[in-house]
Amino acid sequence: MTKSTDLDLDAIRARYRAERDRRTATTAGERQYLDVDQGFSHLLDDPYGEAPPRPAIDREVEVLIVGGGFGGLLTGARLSEAGIDDMLIADAGSDFGGTWYWNRYPGAACDIESYIYFPLLEETGYMPVERYSKSAEIRAHCRRIGEHFGLYEKALFSTQVVALDWDAAAARWIARTNRGDRIAARFTVLTTGPLNRPKLPDIPGIASFAGHSFHTSRWDYAYTGGSATEVMEGLADKRVGIIGTGATGVQCIPPLAKSAQHLTVFQRTPSSVDVRNNSATDPDWAASLHPGWQQERMENFTAQFTRELPATDLVGDGWTALFRTLRERLANNVDGLSAAELFERADFEKMEELRARVASIVEDEAAAEALKPWFSLYCKRPCFHDEFLQSFNRDNVTLVDTAGRGVERITADAIVVAGVEYPVDCLIFATGFDVATSYAQRSGMTVRGVGGLSLSDKWGGGLSTLHGMHTRSFPNCFVISQAQAGMSPNFPHMLSEQTGHIAHIVRHCTAQGIQTVEPTAEAEGNWVDTILKLGEARRQFNADCTPGYYNDEGRNSDVAARSSAFGTGPVAFIKLLQAWREAGDLAGLELDGDHARAKMENAA
């Protein structure tokens, strides 16, 4: 492994900046993406399930959960554990699963170790069959959670909530759905996912493409044949093009390479791709686990990314490798370098190792050069795969590197880069999801709180919350996201903490007869200030990064800064919530406050 003493640190820094600059010079922020509603709304159709006819419902419930992914399932489970069973869970999909319902592309798998990624393993008595699970097993686990906690009876599938309005007189949220339902709920939990709505690049000519095309989150197996784990025989005589080499592209390119007559990969920025080294679950290890092991393992993993740097690294995989190195260097810091300097050097070494990995696998020199990532590991989602780079050694695979510029043009039957036409029969968009658009656009619903204020308007100038989950003028409404909350690469860990916290508040309100709960303006303002202050270091880090959804597509704007996670880290955030609950006074929340009632009178 290369040591930092062998590296020219200034040269690497300069190369990183140059790579970032060539990307930012040609593509600007979210404007480079299309709103799928403008001519591509078929992309949101569900290819996996029918929406069976059913009469519209008119119901009153204690809690309406919007979203049936891990967030919705965990909320349902935690509420049920807290003795609250009067709930409905609405989801646009025809089953539980959320992101795992939609993302069934070939090769889809979890990148985080399944033993910490699958929620509620001990509660449901399940053990994943391998260390990094395929999507079908994750979906099956979602169904298992639904069955275990009796959530199927509370589910409204193939149902999109289109509007949520606060009825101040009744102190209820009134939900309207695309199935004509009306649901009045005392509390609502919005857990619609951070990467929910597919997005398309606004490439000139995109609408003129006359071949077959789809987005990876709506995989068209009717066209490709096969399945997520089998050869797609429908592609045997097809020239397939794929745009995008993020975490999704990296996973679906190997199976596409094995199935297509020819595969052309259009790359703008290469991902970092480390070894996967998957393995079957060792039954002896599984049998040796003691009660509470999953929580302990989740906490240990999340703590690796914080200042705590626990001495033991229970997961010990590619996610935590950089921090293992950092821990060793801190313990043996003979040059007296700062933690930031040590981190930068460990990061440079890691990326040098990953670039060397590309060179050792990819035979074509030009392709190998183009596939080398020149940015800091955590600028983009780190990827892990043992077949991705190898795919470029196949005769039927061509890499078209756009040198940071992106695809130039799309015609009726070809993709154009640097004036060269690449004819394709099928074009697959692995181009990611809306992140920075309005809440209404990303979630497909309008949320209007006190006095008719919409959530999109309230957050138009940037997010404003208490603990990332309450926002003033939206009483009894909880939003689940990592923005202004704790952020762990293991998303389900934070969901578990947040949903437990929400269940605590709902139970408290129910037990005490509290009708409305919303943050005070002061508490919310203080929390936003804290987020901005503590997020400054990450903002500076982001400024040096190549563009992507992590850094607001390179804009690194004030609005995006307000969506940062709690800067002291996820463990500190979890402890903060714990201390808040233990204090028992619901600090910062206005209980049965005048704010909601006063607005109601105004509105009347």
Question: What residues line the site for ligand NDP (CB under 6 A)?
Answer: 109-111, 195, 201, 203, 243-249, 251, 266, 268-269, 381, 402, 406-407, 430-432, 548-549
SS3 letters for 462-475?
CCCCECCCECCCCC
In whole angstroms, how close is the CB of 543 to ligand NDP at the nearest point? 17
Is the CB of 443 or the CB of 473 nearer to ligand NDP? 443
Is the Cβ–Cβ distance between 29 and 552 less than 8 Å? Answer: yes
Among 182, 140, 142, which residue's Cα sits nearest to residue 161? 182
Cβ count within 10 A of residue 577: 21
> Closest distance between ligand NDP and the C-beta of residue 529, in Å?
28
For ligand NDP, which is the closer residue by CB, 156 or 203?
Answer: 203
Is residue 514 a contact partner of residue 502, using CB atoms and an 8 Å limit?
no
Helix (H, G, I), strand (E, B) or coil at 443: helix
Please name the amino acid found at residue 447: V
Nearer to ligand NDP, 102 or 173 (CB): 102
Give the C-alpha separation, 439 to 47, whole Å: 24
185 vs 195, which CB is nearer to ligand NDP? 195
**482: DSSP letter:** S
Counts for the chain of helices (H) and strands (E), in that order: 22, 22
Give the Cα separation of 47 and 45 in Å (integer). 6
Compute the least distance from the CB of residue 141 to ligand NDP, in Å: 14
**Whose Cβ is closer to ligand NDP: residue 381's or residue 504's?**
381
List for the chain the helix, strand, coil content (%; round to 5): 40, 15, 45
Nearest to 589 by CA among 489, 465, 428, 498: 465
Residue (of 63, 11, 154) closest to 517 by Cα position: 63
Q: Judged by CB, which is closer to ligand NDP: 99, or 294?
A: 99
Nearer to ligand NDP among residue 400 and residue 577 (C-beta): 400
Query: Which CB atom, from 173 or from 214, has the smaller least distance to ligand NDP?
Result: 214
The token duo for 528 is 């936003």
- Rounded least distance, CB 379 to ligand NDP, Å: 10
Q: Minimal CA–CA distance to 499: which of 120, 11, 236?
A: 120
Tell the smallest beta-carbon distance from residue 24 to ligand NDP (Å). Answer: 10
User: Residue 311 to residues 303, 323, 463: CA-CA distances in angstroms?
Assistant: 10, 11, 36
DSSP code at position 94? S
User: What is the token pair recorded at 249?
Assistant: 């592209």
Three-state DSSP class for residue 539:
helix
Residue 594: Cβ-neighbour burial (10 angstroms; 0-12, 13-18, 19+):
exposed
Q: Least distance in Å: CB of 442 to ligand NDP?
A: 14
* Separation CA 88–CA 97 (nearest Å): 16
Q: Is 172 helix (H, G, I), strand (E, B) or coil?
A: strand
Structure tokens at 157: 């599938």
Task: Give the max Cα distance, the chain.
Answer: 72
Helix (H) or strand (E) holding 300: helix 293-303
Which CB sits closer to ligand NDP, 195 or 342?
A: 195
| Spatial separation of the C-alpha atoms in residues 583 and 575, rounded to whole Å | 12
> Residue 504 has which token pair?
């605590």
Q: Which is nearer to ligand NDP, 183 or 400 (CB)?
A: 400
Q: How far is the CB of 271 from ligand NDP (least distance, A)?
A: 7
Q: For ligand NDP, which is the closer residue by CB, 241 or 475?
A: 241
Q: Are 276 and 388 in contact (CB under 8 A)?
A: no
Taking the least distance from each CB to ligand NDP, the nearer of 391 and 431 is 431
Indicate the residue type of 266.
F
**Cβ-based nearer residue to ligand NDP, 367 or 407:** 407
